Amino acid sequence: MRRFIALVAGSLFLGGLPLVLILTGVTPSAIASVLVNTVAVRNPLQIVIQVGLLGLWSTWLWGFGSVVIDIIRTWGVRHDHSIVVMSSRYSLLFVVALWSILFVSRSAPAAAESVASEQVVALTTSADHELSPDAVPLALGSSAVLIAGVLTHVGFLRDKQLRFAPAGSFMPPISQRSAFTWAEMHHRNQEQYSDGMPTKTQALLAVGDESRQLDGVPNESVFPFVHVPLGVTSDKIFLVALAPGTRFDIVAIDIELAKTAARHLIAIAQLAARDGGIQVVVESAPNFSYLDISSDATRNVVKPSGGAVIRIVIDESKDVHAPSFVVASNEAVVRICVQSDNPKRMQLGASGWMLMPNEERLSVFGLTEFETTAVQDLFVELSKPVEEDKRQFETISADWNVCVRLLGPVDAESRCGVPISFEKSKSLELLAWLTTHRDRPTRIAARTALWEISVQDATFNNVVSGLRRGLASGSVGVDQIEFLPKTFTDHLSIHGSVITDVDVLNDAVSLVKNRGDRESWFALQDALDRVRDLPFAGTDYLWPDSEGITSNFILSVITGSVMAAEHALQQGDTEGVFWATGQGLKVLHGHEELVSLRMRAYGDVGDRAGVNAEWSSYERSLLHDSWSGGVPSARMVDLKRELIG
């Protein structure tokens, strides 16, 4: 009875009191506002009332904090049987009552019993024997191969977006959640490289040439579809070869833990099999959601006479007399089940995950439901088509002083072309960040973008000071301009006389669209002449990719190159077409619109050999890029027929 009274009274205090106060409009902010007005008009009665209400909120806050502290302490001694003793302190009394009702009063499960049989019997744990920490699969961040595969697929999707993007396109930014997921995986990938992770682990994702040509190879059973890392023990990584005619089981009485481990295997299989002509089939009941990382696997459809198949089967049956499982000669089967007698299996027992039949313990790679949805959302956002660019750019200052060059290796130069040097590389990166984030230049945002971990204020201040000194020393002779004004707020903005080569390009494109005179075309050529390589080439900045900045810089170059090339083609300037398209191809090889302009330029002068040479170059770029499948687009095929038959 005492426990029940403690629970009711504690619940009313913790939940009922703030609910009543909020519903009646007595929020802390409202009390503070009324109190300020009451003091101004000097109403003693109202002052006492408002102070009392503030005291009521303070009492609730103190009680809530005491309960939280006691919950933490109680969890720390959860194995101590003295927890059933009721305390005289109210907050602890409430926690003990809640704990004893929810946990201590539950009946204990039966002890584990091992049955001698050829079939593996699922084990249940006893009340005083918990599962090993190794029973919980590791999260996404621990799997170097899966992270490498996800980042490779992200690059594939982004490449595909750019290749099909017409001139004048814009790539909208992805959500903050997806940007964080992308940046976090980049950071993890860099950490694993710095820790000496062998580069050969990334090759595990690639399906070899022998697997790509599986149907035409004798003794094809010796070639695995793909190798999948299962987990780690000491300094070894365990792999399973998903080969034709083979089966591998993931066995656990707790099917949720089995699903977490299975998601990792399925994700690796899908990412690795994407370009190898292998079909991934997920056979699952409706309650087994989030097992498919790419959201594009075939479900419940298997063609025995078809090509190579990796089949994922969910089996919750505990029937030891069930018929034997049949595996077709063209498929590798991964079976997620609660019991199995298959010698090739990974099984969860009371001591953790074991790799059978050698009974070797390992920490299993896994992928949680939350991580799966985060990766799925990232893939979905990167698969969206580009939009028409309707952005309005401000005209750059005619008397600019410093140009930050981002279309290639990142550096800075004065108006006279003199390079500006900085003591710290982070100062240059901060300059690049500030010039590309003029709409939200805060210290917190800059620190978050430039460092994956929290840095001391002194470190950031040294970087800012280095940037100020570099800009000041590189702009000798310029009037006293404070390029990075000192503020006492979080605001951190760069002076308007500091521009980028991308600003110059966007300004030139706007001039051509608005005026289209001879002077504006010359300005566009001058802007394109500043393109040296891929944006941010040679840097390891994470923020330009995750924020979509790199992609939009590439699209800006493509837009300017197509405009200049089309103008040169109309003027009959063949060399001008090749130069303009060449600048665009520096940032995106094989872009169809640029290649087609080069082919038309050769066709206009009757140079069939030139058309064939461009076509051959285009075909080579298709073989190099996985997104295309090596197949030219219909429009390019039609253009070739039009020009040379």
pLDDT, tens digit, 9 for 90 and up, residues 228-243: 888 887 667 788 888 8
Report which residue type is found at 95. V
Residue 384, pLDDT > 70, answer yes
Residue 87 pLDDT grade (very low, low, confident, very high; cuts 50, 70, 90): very low
- Mean pLDDT, rounded, of the chain: 75
β-bridge mates for residue 400, sequence order: none
Give the angle 14-19-25 at the CA atoms, nearest 5°: 140
pLDDT at 2: 56
Which of the pair, 254 or 334, is modelled with greater confidence?
A: 334
Which of the pair, 435 or 271, is modelled with greater confidence?
A: 435
Closest residue by Cα to residue 232 from 331, 335, 322, 145: 145
Q: Phi/psi zone of residue 572: left (φ > 0), alpha (ψ -120 to 50 degrees), beta? A: left
Q: Residue 112 burial by CB count (10 A; 0-12/13-18/19+): exposed, middle or buried?
A: middle
pLDDT at 281: 80
Which residues have a Cβ under 8 Å from the Cβ of 236 and sit 6 or more positions away?
A: none
Residue 626, pLDDT > 60, answer no
pTM across the whole model? 0.69
Residue 97 CB coordination number (10 Å): 21
Which residues have a Cβ under 8 Å from the Cβ of 150 and sit 6 or more positions away?
A: 185, 267, 271, 375, 378
**In angstroms, rounded to a whole number, what is the distance separating the alpha carbons of residues 57 and 62?**
9
In Å, the largest CA–CA distance within the chain is 99
pLDDT at 353: 86
Query: Burial code of 124-148, b = ≥16 C-beta within 10 A, e = fewer?
Result: ebeeeeebeebbbbbebbbbbbbbb
Which of the pair, 291 or 103, is modelled with greater confidence?
A: 291
Closest residue by Cα to residue 371 from 175, 132, 184, 201: 184
pLDDT at 117: 25
Task: Give the helix/strand (H/E) hosting 327.
Answer: none
Structure tokens at 339: 């019991």
Closest residue by Cα to residue 449 from 182, 192, 154, 149: 182
Report, as an integer, the average pLDDT of 403-411: 94
pLDDT tens by residue, 210-226: 322 222 333 344 456 77
Report, as an integer, the average pLDDT of 438-465: 84
Report, as an integer, the average pLDDT of 367-385: 86
Cis-peptide into 357, omega within 30 deg: yes
**What are the CB-based long-range contacts (under 8 Å, 24+) for 197-200?**
197/144
Closest residue by Cα to residue 414 from 432, 405, 422, 402: 402
Which of the pair, 191 or 176, is modelled with greater confidence?
A: 176
pLDDT tens by residue, 568-583: 999 989 999 999 999 9
Task: Give the helix/strand (H/E) hosting 542.
Answer: none
Residue 628 pLDDT grade (very low, low, confident, very high; cuts 50, 70, 90): low
Lowest mean pLDDT among 155-159, 320-324, 354-358: 320-324
pLDDT at 322: 60
pLDDT at 566: 94
Closest residue by Cα to residue 579 from 536, 633, 524: 524
Which of the pair, 178 or 106, is modelled with greater confidence?
A: 178
pLDDT tens by residue, 278-297: 778 877 644 445 556 655 54
Q: For domain 402-500, say whether CATH 1.10.3720.10 is its number.
A: no
Lowest mean pLDDT among 30-44, 84-98, 497-511, 630-644: 84-98
Residue 584 pLDDT grade (very low, low, confident, very high; cuts 50, 70, 90): very high
Residue 253, pLDDT > 90, answer no
Report which residue type is found at 125. T
- DSSP annotation of 102: I
Residue 68, pLDDT > 90, answer no
Lowest mean pLDDT among 27-36, 247-256, 582-591: 27-36
Give the angle 586-383-449 at the CA atoms, nearest 5°: 70
Residue 398, pLDDT > 50, answer yes
Residue 53, pLDDT > 90, answer no
Residue 222 CB coordination number (10 Å): 10
pLDDT tens by residue, 126-138: 323 344 556 778 8
Residue 3 pLDDT grade (very low, low, confident, very high; cuts 50, 70, 90): low
Report, as an integer, the average pLDDT of 59-69: 75
pLDDT tens by residue, 535-558: 999 888 888 988 889 999 999 999
**In angstroms, rounded to a whole number, what is the distance separating the alpha carbons of residues 390 and 395?**
15
Place of tokens 């030219």: 632
Q: Give the gyration radius of the chain's Cα atoms.
A: 32
Instruction: Please tell me the total number of residues recorded for the chain in this structure.
Output: 645
Residue 563, pLDDT > 90, answer yes
pLDDT at 473: 81
